[in-house]
Amino acid sequence: MEFIDKRGGFFMIDNEVIDNGELDVYAFKTYAVIVRYANKKTKSAFPSLNTLAKRVGCGKKKVIECIKILVEKGYVSKTLRKDNKGDHLSNLYHLLPTSNISKKQGTISEREKESALEKKEVVTGGSTNKVNFNKVEMKNIQNLSAGYSEEFEHVWALYPKKIDKKSAYKSFNMATKKHSFELINLGTQRYAEYIKGNCVETRYIKHATNFFNNECYLEYAEMKKEKETSKVFSTRNFSIDRLLD
């Protein structure tokens, strides 16, 4: 079984987590929801507290307690995120291998295990048979097999027209040197929503490379704010006759 195995709308959870009687039903379901949202390659997800609370069926305070338990048990790691203004965004959660997963990895591929020992020289208590796969896994999160960053993979999953990924990745990296990932991600998300909401034909959708090179994400990141602002108007001295002029 792969670390994250999703098939036809279903996903698997390692038996160690299921069999852990110290986890209550809320902590277990919180873990399950994170697994559901996790990227198969990066093993990470960033559902908001509102989303977690809704899926788990409890309050945000309880979800925070559950996440703390999962971190203490070594099932997930949590990274705080902020936008370019310093405002807090949803946390980034990384799924960590359980001891069962580590044993399976060592059993299935002894060559990979030996290679990890030679290159990383990771040992526990003087024994070369116990590899700290948590450290290896966390390092692999930043070195995806395809060579793409986790941030780009997330934005690419949102983008409505997936053509020339390699070129788009280069443009994305250049864009991140000028603007924050959060801003680029927001602009991309709203562009995707605009395309879907207006049923735009594929041929009229911008290529991702041009989208990042021309900084189109800036326009769409601000679009929703302008719309929301335009909805606010004063009702003082309001008259129905003004609407009929």
Domain boundaries, the chain: 6-95, 99-141, 150-230
Mean pLDDT of the chain: 76
Q: Report residue 140 as tokens.
A: 């692999």
Which distant-in-sequence residues (6+ apart) come within 8 Å of 78 by Cβ? 67, 71, 91, 92, 93
Rg (CA), the chain: 23
Which tens digits make up the pLDDT trace of 67-83?
Answer: 999 999 888 999 888 88
- pLDDT for residue 96: 86
- pLDDT for residue 93: 92
User: CA-CA distance, 185 to 225, in Å (whole number)?
Assistant: 15
DSSP 8-state secondary structure symbol assigned to residue 207:
P
- pLDDT for residue 37: 87
Provide the residue type at 115 as one letter.
S
Q: Report residue 137 as tokens.
A: 């896994």
- pLDDT for residue 221: 85
Domain 6-95 class, CATH top level:
mainly alpha
Q: What is the full per-residue pLDDT of the chain (245 aa) written as tens digits?
A: 455 555 556 677 778 888 888 889 999 999 999 998 888 788 888 999 999 999 999 999 999 999 999 999 888 999 888 887 878 888 899 988 876 544 444 444 444 555 555 544 444 444 444 445 455 444 444 444 458 888 899 999 999 999 999 999 999 999 999 999 999 999 999 999 999 989 989 889 999 999 999 999 998 888 755 554 444 444 455 554 544 44
pTM: 0.41
- pLDDT for residue 87: 81
What kind and span of H or E run contains 92? strand 92-95
- pLDDT for residue 125: 45
Q: Which of 34, 17, 37 is nearest to 98 (CA)?
A: 17
Residues forming a β-bridge with 78: 93
Alpha helices (H) in 57-200, listed in sequence order: 60-73, 99-108, 110-120, 133-141, 150-158, 165-176, 181-197
Q: Report residue 39 as tokens.
A: 């990227």
